[in-house]
Amino acid sequence: MTNDTAPQSKPRPAIARHRAALGGTARVPGDKSISHRALMLGALAVGTTRAEGLLEGEDVLATAAALRRMGVGITRTTDDDGNGVWQIDGVGVGGLHAPDDVLDLGNSGTAARLLCGLLAGHDFTAILTGDDSLRARPMGRVIAPLTEMGVQTSSRDGGRMPLSVTGTADLLPIEYVLPVPSAQVKSAVLLAGLHAPGKTTVVETMATRDHTERMLAHMGAALEITETDDGRRITITGQPELNPAEIHVPADPSSAAFPAVAAAIVPGSNVYLPAVGMNPARIGLFDTLVEMGADITRDNPRETGGEPVADLRIRAGSLKSVIVPASRAPSMIDEYPVLAAAAACAEGTTVFEGVGELRVKESDRLAAVEAGLAACGVAVWTEEDRMVIQGCDGPPPGGGEIAANLDHRIAMSFLVLGLATENPVTIDDVRTVETSFPGFIETMCGLGADMAANSTEQTA
């Protein structure tokens, strides 16, 4: 697999500026979290899983490439409309083969952490690595519970990649209380628990996204979920056979956040986003925008493959500041950078509480957002695990040159802000945008945005 975000490739700057209202329909890419899980659980099923709507960004393609290296047959065809249809020929629980090379996961923390769970029950060694950003991210949170189960690992200082994982056919079931809310750690333990005899339990005191649980149940895993005084207990009975499934991946709410916020902050805008995933553990951003005064309607609510879906219409409106509580962070942890763009345009002072987790994402997102907003003339400061943004009650000055730090969400968030500022906003590098939102700039331009890469010229 070619990694276009490798350090030796040439930076690709981009620019965004305010021109006119946004309007029309945009089909955002498939949900990244569900796409990763469709490939991984399809690989562990007995039979052939068929997935439509899969995100075909670099992160998900890295997962597909890693699974192929371990003996999983994965092919892509197209339907009559030219959309991708993926077929995963599962090898069964415990059926992966030792890879013949290092598994390069590019920029994807989800792929890295969830694959550790898959590898846990296999009696071979695999080495995981990634790009500069991924190699800087700590893996200790996922290493700790897997070590309790009998997995052996070796990593750089701080639990950083490259990471060697040696699984075992004699994996131990455990009960593990998540020290911090993390769907990735929870999922890794549950995936490892598939390979362990008996029952493995994860306890989360604060609910996180539950795509893994939903898909496991959809594919026939023995799963028990109970709400207790100590938190939500998820118990999986190990060593089952998973059933292959038809999976229709909804549009990613984290990707939909970018055109949604753009429509909310650019005056006169009216944007329609069909078939967006409405998983309650993922829609904190939309709930917050509504609290701020955004005009968002949810049409045609339905369920697809165990996941709730709806069509969203977003119209521009006057936004007011809010206090976003720490309890909402797990449902929108990836959306704070683009919410910061909305807060910059709002009236009053917006506060994000309990967002320390943003310091250990693809970049230190708290630092990146603070630096970027300040460069665009917005008053902002951080206090330990909270961020405070003084809104401009209209268009911020803009004019900033933003360092994306190889972080796709920082790049897209400030391009969205640039659509509402008085002066253009420039991003130093948008290569990593393809990891989660292929064709992002083209999609936004299709809605009328003035946005371009590798050029400072006004778009036509």
Whether 309 and 191 map to the same domain: the answer is: no
Q: State the residue range of the domain holding 192.
A: 32-240
Q: Average pLDDT of the chain?
A: 93
Whether 261 and 165 map to the same domain: the answer is: no
Q: Among residues 205, 240, 275, which one ends one of the domains?
A: 240
| Whole-angstrom Cα Rg for the chain | 21
Average pLDDT over residues 296-320: 94
Nearest to 314 by CA among 292, 332, 337, 290: 290
pLDDT at 191: 98
Whether 236 and 283 map to the same domain: the answer is: no
Whether 284 and 182 map to the same domain: the answer is: no
Q: What is the C-alpha separation between 281 and 211, in angstroms, rounded?
A: 9
The answer to whether position 2 is within a domain reads no
Whether 59 and 18 map to the same domain: the answer is: no
* Model confidence, pTM: 0.85
Extract the tokens encoding 199.
Answer: 């029952």
pLDDT at 8: 47
C-alpha torsion sign, points 422, 424, 427, 428: negative
Whether 215 and 260 map to the same domain: the answer is: no
Q: What is the C-alpha separation between 355 and 376, in angstroms, rounded?
A: 22
**Number of domains forming the structure of the chain:** 2
164-174 pLDDT, tens digit each: 999 999 999 99
Average pLDDT over residues 24-44: 96
The answer to whether position 247 is within a domain reads no
Residue 266 confidence (pLDDT) above 90: yes
Q: Do 277 and 304 touch, CB atoms closer than 8 A?
A: no
pLDDT at 3: 40
Q: What is the C-alpha separation between 340 and 428, in angstroms, rounded?
A: 19
Catalytic site residue from 31, 334, 407, 450: 334
Q: Do 73 and 89 touch, CB atoms closer than 8 A?
A: yes
Tell me if residue 3 falls in helix, strand or coil.
coil
The answer to whether position 422 is within a domain reads yes
Residue 334 known to be catalytic: yes
Whether 223 and 256 map to the same domain: the answer is: no
Bond prior to 7 in cis (omega within 30° of 0): no
376-391 pLDDT, tens digit each: 999 999 988 999 999 9
Pinpoint the alpha helices (H) of 219-299: 253-265, 284-292
Average pLDDT over residues 109-135: 95
451 versus 157: which is more confidently predicted? 451
